[in-house]
Structure 1
Amino acid sequence: MNKPAPLCVYYDGDCPICRIEVRFYERIDKADVISWINITPLSDSALPDGKTREELLGKFHVRDDENWHIGVDAFARIWRALPGFRHFAFLFRVPILRQMAMGLYLVFLRWQRWHRKHRARASESL
Structure 2
Amino acid sequence: MTDETRVLYNETCPVCRFEIGHYRKAALAEDLPLLFDDLTQASAWGVSPEAAAKRLHVMHQGQLLSGIPAFQILWAQLPRWRWVARLTALPLIHPLACAFYDHLMAPILYRAHKRRESAKHLPQ
TM superposition score category, shorter chain reference: 0.7 to 0.9
Structure 1 residue matching 2:80: 3-state secondary structure: coil
Other-structure match for 1:70? 66
Other-structure match for 1:119? 116
Maintained 8 Å contact 1:5/1:32: no
Other-structure match for 2:9? 11
- Residues 49 and 18 (structure 1), Cα distance of their counterparts in 2 relative to 1, 3 Å cut: closer
Other-structure match for 2:32? 32
Q: Kindly, what percent of the aligned residue pairs are identical?
A: 23
- C-alpha distance in 1 between matches for 2:37 and 2:60: 13
Maintained 8 Å contact 2:53/2:113: no
Equivalenced residue count is 119
Quick one: which amino acid aligns to residue 124 of structure 1? H
1:55 aligns with 2:63: no
Other-structure match for 1:80? 76
Length-normalised TM-score, structure 2: 0.84
Length-normalised TM-score, structure 1: 0.83
CA RMSD of aligned residues (A): 1.9
Please list every run of 5 or more consecutive structure 2 residues that lacks an aligned counterpart in the other structure: none
Structure that is richer in helix per residue = 2
Please list every run of 5 or more consecutive structure 1 residues that lacks an aligned counterpart in the other structure: none
What is the deviation of 1:50? 2.6
Structure 1 residue matching 2:92: 3-state secondary structure: helix
- C-alpha distance in 2 between matches for 1:109 and 1:81: 22
Maintained 8 Å contact 1:92/1:101: yes
Q: Return 26-35 or 15-24, whichever deviates more.
A: 26-35
